[in-house]
Amino acid sequence: MLSHVYSKSYIRSSIALQELSRVLIVERLLPVPQRAAKSAEPFDAYSLNQALGADFMTSYLSGVGNSTEFICNVKVRKETMQNFQTKTRGFLGKEEASRELDVPILSLCESVGMSS
């Protein structure tokens, strides 16, 4: 029932998805390397790519206004990725990391519920 929304033809024809992509890429992503180039500060392209993936998925599922903003918020991105690694790799503190990851996910679910 849901597979059609993941099909190539749907994705290419969806005006909403095109707008979502424009916001994430043009407004959020592209300014990051542009600022880095002007200031000569390095940036973590791998982490930025992970952020784009997470922001895109949460925007697609819950709308841009309810999505994560890992592209723009480096501190939250780093904390979340560290917690994710701790949890998935079974490092010491994985229970705490799991609880820390639950907070933004539950908040995201609540915000989607309120906006629908």
Q: Are 71 and 51 in contact (CB under 8 A)?
A: yes
Alpha helices in the chain (DSSP H): 8-13, 15-22, 31-39, 45-62, 74-89, 94-115
Mind listing the pLDDT tens digit for each residue in 102-111? 988 888 888 7
Mind listing the pLDDT tens digit for each residue in 32-86? 999 999 998 888 999 999 999 999 999 988 889 889 999 999 999 999 999 999 9
* pTM higher than 0.85: no
